[in-house]
Amino acid sequence: MCGRFFRYGVTWSDYRAWLNLVPPEDTEPPEPTYNAAPGSYQPIIRLARDGTAELAPAMWGLVPSWWKKPLKEKTFTTFNAKSETVAEKPVFRGAFRHHRCLVPVSGYYEWTGRAGAKTPFAVGLRNRRHFCLAGLYDVAHIDGSELHSFTILTTTPNDATASLHHRMPVILHQSDFGRWLDTSNRDVESLFEPFPSEDVHVWPVDPAVGNVRNNYPALAEET
């Protein structure tokens, strides 16, 4: 499961190094966030119509293109998608075939412990300030407006995260970014393997991260 994440400031140089992404002229890169939650708008990386990588804002919590009702009537949860079933689930299969994306993050949060006394932990990568999760996006037309939204794929946990939750997000190696974005390539199941435990770092963080209204750098610092 991945229901909260954080992202330090990512420069245009970082985005360009990932996928030769050309930044929009006279614009600043997206601001960092230290407590991103479903329902918020976050940057995703996707392929534009001309085949180049582009950065675009999207709402976290995928709304499929066939959804036509008011958004408040959507009662099913779509901020995560199981990688094992994503190709068959009606909510996700269209996006899986046509709209894959990358979600740039610096880490994500998980909670463990007994109810009422859970301890939050941050999960990131060793010696890596930024990385990308495998995601899907879609575009729905609701009340005459386009809604761009996304979900994050999950897989079984590695040894480093198994004590926190029975799922973890699909973390991609940079060498696999292009393969994931290329929807003509359906042979992507091998990308869903848990990221190597030796490359993952887990640390306790401030319980204040549990309040979605809190969003400041200290939330992601080790306590």
Tell me what pLDDT residue 24 has. 81
Tens of pLDDT along 134-167?
999 999 999 889 999 999 999 999 999 999 999 9
Tens of pLDDT along 17-33?
898 888 887 889 999 99
Residue 46 in this model has a pLDDT that exceeds 90? yes
Residue 117 in this model has a pLDDT that exceeds 90? no
Confidence category of residue 169, pLDDT binned at 50, 70, 90 = very high
> Mean per-residue pLDDT for 77-88?
97
> Mean per-residue pLDDT for 58-73?
94
Residue 1 in this model has a pLDDT that exceeds 80? no
Contacts for 8-11: CB closer than 8 Å, 24+ residues apart: 8/32, 8/106, 8/129, 8/130, 8/220, 10/104, 10/130
Tell me what pLDDT residue 143 has. 82
Tell me what pLDDT residue 61 has. 98
Confidence category of residue 203, pLDDT binned at 50, 70, 90 = very high
Instruction: State how far the Cα of 69 lies from the Cα of 71, in Å rounded to an integer.
Output: 6
Instruction: State how far the Cα of 109 lies from the Cα of 22, in Å rounded to an integer.
Output: 30
Residue 116 in this model has a pLDDT that exceeds 80? no
Quote the distance between the C-alpha of residue 114 and its chain's center.
27
Which of 22-26, 64-68, 217-221 is predicted with the least confidence, judged by mean pLDDT? 22-26
Tell me what pLDDT residue 144 has. 85
Cβ-based neighbour number of residue 211 at 10 Å: 10
41 phi/psi in degrees, rounded to 5 = -95, 130
Domains and CATH numbers, the chain: 5-109+130-201 (3.90.1680.10)
What's this model's pTM, rounded to 2 decimal places? 0.96
> Mean per-residue pLDDT for 92-117?
94
Residue 43 in this model has a pLDDT that exceeds 80? yes
Quote the distance between the C-alpha of residue 162 and its chain's center.
19
Q: In three state form, how does the secondary structure of the chain look?
A: CCCCEEECCCCHHHHHHHHCCCCCCCCCCCCCEEEECCCCEEEEEEECCCCCEEEEEEEECCCCCCCCCCHHHCCCCCCEEECCCCCCCCCCHHHHHHCEEEEEECEEEEEECCCCCCEEEEEEECCECCEEEEEEEEEEEECCEEEEEEEEEEECCCCCCCCCCCCEECEECHHHHHHHHCCCCCCCHHHHCCCCHHHEEEEECCHHHHCCCCCCHHHHCCC
| Closest by CA position to 85, among listed 160, 151, 179, 178 | 151
Mean pLDDT of the chain: 95
β-bridge mates for residue 119, sequence order: 112
**pLDDT > 90 fraction of the chain, expressed in percent and rounded:** 84
